[in-house]
Amino acid sequence: MNKPTTIQAKICGLRTEEDVRAAVTAGAAFVGFMHFPKSPRHIEPADAEKLARLLPETVKAVVVLVNPSDAEVARAALWADFIQLHGDETPERSREIRRLAGKPVIKAMALESADDLARAALYQETADILLFDAKTPTSGDLPGGNGIAFDWRILAGSRIDTPWMLSGGLDAANVAEAVRLTGARMVDVSSGVEQTRGVKSAAKIKAFLRAVKEASV
């Protein structure tokens, strides 16, 4: 009998000790800290570093940056396990940031059509993990965390050599279906585990991670 495939989950946009403890206790593999002043989930690097120190070795700290400067990358690399790029970074810039940080890079890619998936192939040699998210609404200014799902069928049957993570509009009610349709082995959630915009719910974090565990096959 084949062993069950464990799906890893990232809880993103954490800002408090309570958030971190809820994610760790419920079984998150990654936790994300957003450094982007326009975001309701923004946290200053010094505060994120303090929270990252609470993590056991089994849970990885991810810092989310948007078109970061070299100085921002160098500062984040002092404490984060992964650098997540959620802006307009080119493949060349992604490679440069990975070299500068000396840490693995997660590159967020907005998907709306198969053409966008083809473009993601450009990053397969410059990022360690690709994160597939929905496109930002034209009326919005946040590159992620908008609670919007894309058409998961875009990923169905796709062959992507680089490890990848599914994001965008996920919650406890739909994550199992998303995994079934896409074959995702890593998932990412932020707004789907919030009680109000930017404020996490320990109960929703627990419910999401329970659903992820049950979706593992």
Total domains in the chain come to 1
Which residues lie below 8 Å from residue 73, measured CB to CB, with a gap of 6+? 65, 83, 97, 100, 101
Q: Is residue 3 part of a domain?
A: no
Q: Which domain holds residue 136?
A: 8-215
Residue 164 host element (H or E): strand 164-166
Global pTM value: 0.91
pLDDT at 117: 86
**Alpha carbons 170 and 182: distance in angstroms, whole number:** 13
Over its length of 217 residues, how does the chain's per-residue pLDDT go in tens digits? 444 578 999 999 999 999 999 999 999 999 999 999 999 999 999 999 999 999 999 999 999 999 999 999 999 999 999 999 999 999 999 999 999 999 999 999 999 888 888 888 899 899 999 999 988 754 455 555 556 788 898 888 788 889 999 999 999 999 999 999 999 999 999 999 999 999 999 999 999 999 999 997 6
Q: Are 29 and 60 in contact (CB under 8 A)?
A: yes
CATH number for the domain spanning 210: value is 3.20.20.70
- Number of Cβ within 10 Å of residue 144's Cβ equals 29
**Alpha carbons 33 and 13: distance in angstroms, whole number:** 5
Q: Is residue 30 part of a domain?
A: yes
Q: Is residue 2 part of a domain?
A: no
Between 175-182 and 202-215, two packed helices, what is the crossing angle to 10 degrees? 30
Token reading at 21: 């403890």
**Alpha carbons 87 and 72: distance in angstroms, whole number:** 14
Cα-to-chain-centroid distance, residue 148: 14
**Alpha carbons 158 and 182: distance in angstroms, whole number:** 8
Q: Are 77 and 101 in contact (CB under 8 A)?
A: yes
Q: Are 177 and 170 in contact (CB under 8 A)?
A: no
Q: Is residue 1 part of a domain?
A: no
